[in-house]
Every structure is written in structure tokens, then in C-alpha cells.
């Protein structure tokens, strides 16, 4: 599964590797897709079923239960991190703050950050982390839960690496990707969360999905 995830991310990041905010283009629908036949007026019609984020249930910094339903009719940006990360996480969070500040008053946009170190990153730790960033929980959810569930949804739904690795700095390995998810739970873009130019593209692509001008 990780090999597939790496391929998808590579293709998506390559598509925005020029770091250019373009005026018009169609956002892809990433991931696996299936073709399902159904009968309409006696004829077989093929429908395309796209990859979507699997059902989940986590707890955020306010001890609120966060599920897919939390993001009904919303566009959201997801990522994976841990609060004691010694490498890319601080840069990622500063870049995600740019997304937050741009859309903090837009009720149709949200952010979902999953800790990959749930043993250390308790609800209280995540609460303190969010407060130090100065962000509101109704807009930016920092979630924790069973580590197996977090790792599984990372690799099978969001198609990114998120796991323990004793050889990695801090003991965990994870992608630096920001993932753009549309109102139907489909992944529409993957961006390098450590590169400001790619976050510029993400901010612009959110406007496309929300039909903002």
C-alpha cells in the first residue's frame, strides 16, 4: 500500500512542481476508481466510483468526536504530524497557519491534523498545542485515537506514509503532504506542506472547490 501511496503522491506533487498558481485547470480526482454497471431503461450504464476517505472516528483537542460527518458539505485539508517532531512538523504547521488565516471565516473550509504519536499527544497536549498556535477548534481539528486506526487511514485512505520508525528522527515517519479533500470525501490534490509555493497553489485550489472568486 505504501508503494501505491508514494506513486500517487509523486504524480500529484509533480503536477504542481512548477510551483505556479495557474488561472484555470481541472483538479484531478486521485486514488483508485472502479466502474460499476447499472441498468437504466433496459440498458447497461457504467458509473465511475472514485476513491473516498473511509469512515473514521477520532477525538480532537476539545474532546469532541470527529467523524466524516464533521466535514459534511465542507472542503478540508488533512495532514499527519506529532507535537514533538524535531524535523518538518514546525514548518508544516507554519504553512498550514497560512491556510487557516486565509479561510478562518469561511464555514465551508476546515483543517484536520492527525497525530501519529497518540501515546504522547493526549487531548490535553493537543489542546495546548492548538492554543500556542492561536487557532480555533471549530476550524482546525487536532485529533488523536488508536494508533492502528490513525496509521491505517493514513496509508489506505489518504495514501501517505504515517507510522512508527525507530530509525527516524523522533521515532516516527510521516509524509509532509497536505491533502485537499472535497465535499464528497475525494482527494483532489496533494501538496508539499514544507514548500510555501505549493501551499500558495493549495490555497488557490481550495477556492476552486468552494467556488469562491
Q: What is the pLDDT of residues 98-141, one digit of tens each?
A: 999 999 999 999 999 999 999 999 999 999 999 999 999 999 99
Task: State pTM to two decimals.
Answer: 0.85
Cα separation, 90 vs 67, whole angstroms: 26
Q: Give the residue extent of every domain in the chain.
A: 2-20+28-210
Task: Say which CATH class 2-20+28-210 falls into.
Answer: alpha beta
State residue 19's pLDDT score: 59
Cα separation, 146 vs 129, whole angstroms: 19
**Burial (CB count <10 Å: 0-12, 13-18, 19+), residue 43:** exposed
Lowest average pLDDT, out of 7-21, 85-99, 126-140, 160-174, goes to 7-21
* The residue to which cell 465551508 is assigned: 108
Residue 25 or residue 114, greater confidence: 114
State residue 200's pLDDT score: 98
Classify 2 as helix, strand or coil.
helix
For the chain, percent of residues with pLDDT exceeding 70? 87
State residue 77's pLDDT score: 98
Give the pLDDT band (50/70/90) at residue 192: very high
Cα separation, 118 vs 178, whole angstroms: 20
Q: What is the DSSP string of 76-141?
A: EEEEEE-TT-SSSHHHHHHHHHHHHHHHTT-TTEEEEEEES-TTT--HHHHHHHHHHHT--TTTEE
Cα separation, 76 vs 31, whole angstroms: 17
State residue 45's pLDDT score: 79
Q: What is the pLDDT of residues 36-72, one digit of tens each?
A: 877 777 777 788 899 999 999 999 999 999 999 999 9
Structure-block grid coordinates of residue 105: 471565516
Lowest average pLDDT, out of 11-15, 114-118, 200-204, 209-213, goes to 11-15
State residue 16's pLDDT score: 44
> Does residue 86 have a pLDDT over 70?
yes
> Does residue 26 have a pLDDT over 90?
no
Amino acid at each position: 500500500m505504501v508503494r501505491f501511496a508514494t506513486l500517487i503522491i509523486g504524480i500529484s506533487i509533480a503536477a504542481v512542481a512548477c510551483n505556479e498558481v495557474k488561472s484555470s485547470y481541472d483538479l484531478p480526482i486521485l486514488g483508485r476508481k472502479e466502474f460499476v454497471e447499472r441498468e437504466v431503461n433496459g440498458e447497461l450504464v457504467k458509473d465511475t466510483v472514485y476513491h473516498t476517505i473511509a469512515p473514521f472516528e477520532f477525538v480532537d483537542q476539545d474532546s469532541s468526536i470527529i467523524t466524516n460527518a464533521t466535514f459534511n458539505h465542507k472542503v478540508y485539508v488533512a495532514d499527519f504530524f506529532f507535537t514533538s517532531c524535531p524535523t518538518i512538523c514546525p514548518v508544516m504547521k507554519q504553512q498550514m497557519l497560512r491556510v487557516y488565516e486565509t479561510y478562518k471565516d469561511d464555514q465551508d473550509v476546515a483543517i484536520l491534523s492527525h497525530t501519529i504519536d497518540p501515546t504522547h499527544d493526549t487531548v490535553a497536549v493537543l489542546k495546548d498545542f492548538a492554543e500556542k498556535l492561536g487557532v480555533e477548534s471549530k476550524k482546525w481539528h487536532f485529533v488523536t485515537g488508536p494508533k492502528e486506526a490513525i496509521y491505517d487511514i493514513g496509508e489506505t485512505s489518504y495514501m501517505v506514509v504515517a507510522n512508527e520508525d525507530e530509525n527516524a528522527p523522533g521515532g516516527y515517519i510521516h509524509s509532509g503532504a497536505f491533502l485537499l479533500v472535497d465535499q464528497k470525501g475525494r482527494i483532489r490534490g496533494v501538496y508539499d506542506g514544507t514548500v510555501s509555493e505549493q501551499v500558495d497553489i493549495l490555497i488557490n485550489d481550495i477556492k476552486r472547490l468552494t467556488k469562491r472568486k
